[in-house]
Amino acid sequence: GEGQGNLERCRIDHIYAEDCAGDYPHPTGGPGNGIIFTVNYCTIGMVHQKNCEGGVKIQDDSSYTMVDTVIVEGGANTTENAGFKLQGADGQRSVIGVHVGRVITKDNLSQALYFSETTDCYIGSYHGTDNVGVGATAVRDVVIRESTRPRIGNIVVTNGNVLIADTVDDYEIGTIAVSGTITTNIAVQDESLGDGNIGSIVAIDTQGTPTLQYAYRQTGTGGGHIGSVKTNVDFSTTYPAALLVQGSGKTIGKIVNGSGDPTADVVQLTDTDTSTVVANDNVYKVYLGASGNYMEPVIEIQAHEADGQVAIGSGWRVVMNDISAGGGFTIHHGTAGNSDYVHWRIAEWRVKATAAT
C-alpha cells in the first residue's frame, strides 16, 4: 500500500479471512483487518471475511479493478467503518474505477459500507443487516463521503440507515430500501452539496410504535431528482415523509406516507360553488424558513368530463394546506355544475420561493 508494493494485473479467485485481531495485518499496529487490498488492473472473485476486528478494505491508490462478491460477517468488530471500505488516503490518493458486483454485510459495529476518497467507483448491490452495534457512535449502516461520481445499483438495509455526506458529488443510486428499527429516525440523510439522483426510496419501520420521522431528509442544497419516496408511517403534521431544504435544486416525483391516500384521482367539483376542498394526507406544503420558501407538490388538473372543462377553463388555481393543519388542498374554479369532474395528479415536489397557487 501507500503507493508501494501494489498488486498489478493479478487474478484472485477466492480469498478468506477469519478471527483476525490486534496487530494483524500491520506489524506496527492496526485494527485487525482481515483483508486489505491495494490493487491496480486486477480481477478478484469471492472475498469473504468472518469475525475480524477490522474490515475488508480496498485502499489508497487502488484502481481499475473488478471484484465479484464481498461478504463481511462481523461479530468481533471493535472499530467503526469495519465492514467493506473503498477508502483512499486523505486527499492524497483516491480509489479510482473499482467495480464490485455484490456486497453483503452483517453484525458489524457500524458503517458497514463505507466510501471515502473515491472517484468513479461502482457497487452493483449492497445488503446490510444489523450493522449498528452496541456502543457505536456513528449509528449508520451506509456512509458515502468525499467521493465523486459514486454509483450503487441497489441498497437494502435492515436496522440501520444511509448517509450521503456533503463532500459527495454527482452520485447515482438505483433503489434504497431501509426497514426494521431505523437509526437516527431518518432512513436516508442527504447532506450533499452536489447533484445526485435516486430512483426510489422505501422506508418501513417495523416497530410496534414507529419512531421513523423522515424516509428522506435533505440538509445539503444539491440538485438532482428522486423518483419516489414511500414509507409505511402514517401522516404527521410535524414530519413529512420526505423533506427538501431551503434553496434546494432537487425534485421528487412522488412522496407517499402510510395514509393510503392517492397521488392522483378524479374528484367531483362542488355543485354551484367556486371552490372544492380535497382531503388528502399525501398533499400538503411545508414552510422552510423566514425567506418564505415552501416545499410543495406541483399539481396538474385536467377536465374529466366536458362540463368540468367549463368550470376550470374560466380560471382556476390550487392552494395546498400547510402540513401543520393536516393534508389536503382546495381547487378554486369557475361555478361548477352538478356533474363536473376533474382529474388531478402530483407531477413532482420541489422547493418554491413562495407558496404556489
What are the tens digits of pLDDT across the range 55-67?
999 999 999 999 9
Instruction: Provide the Cα torsion 332, 338, 343, 348; round to 10°.
Output: 20
Residue at 2 is within a domain: no
DSSP 129-177: ES---TT-SS--SEEEEEEES-EEEEEEEES--EEE-TTEESEEEEEEE
- Do residue 95 and residue 226 come from a single domain? yes
pLDDT at 26: 57
- Do residue 108 and residue 175 come from a single domain? yes
Answer whether 47's CB lies under 8 Å from 35's CB: yes
pLDDT averaged over every residue in the chain:
91
The H-or-E segment that residue 53 falls in is none
- Do residue 213 and residue 251 come from a single domain? yes
Residue at 357 is within a domain: no
Tallying the residues shown for the chain, one arrives at: 357
Among 187, 221, 256, where does a domain finish?
256
- Do residue 208 and residue 303 come from a single domain? no
pLDDT at 6: 85
Among 230, 256, 282, where does a domain finish?
256
pLDDT at 28: 54
Residue at 116 is within a domain: yes
Q: How many CB atoms lie within 10 A of CB 275?
A: 14
- Do residue 166 and residue 238 come from a single domain? yes
Residue at 295 is within a domain: yes
What are the tens digits of pLDDT across the range 222-246?
999 999 999 999 999 999 999 999 8
- Do residue 218 and residue 309 come from a single domain? no
- Report field, pTM of the whole predicted structure over 0.85: yes
pLDDT at 23: 60
> Beta 341-352 vs 39-40: how paired, if at all?
unpaired
DSSP 60-112: TT-BS-EEEEEEEE-SS--SSS-SEEEE-BTTTB-EES-EEEEEEEES-SS--
Domain containing residue 116: 7-256
pLDDT at 252: 98
Among 217, 233, 256, where does a domain finish?
256
- Do residue 32 and residue 166 come from a single domain? yes
- Do residue 73 and residue 210 come from a single domain? yes
Domains of the chain: total: 2
The H-or-E segment that residue 259 falls in is none
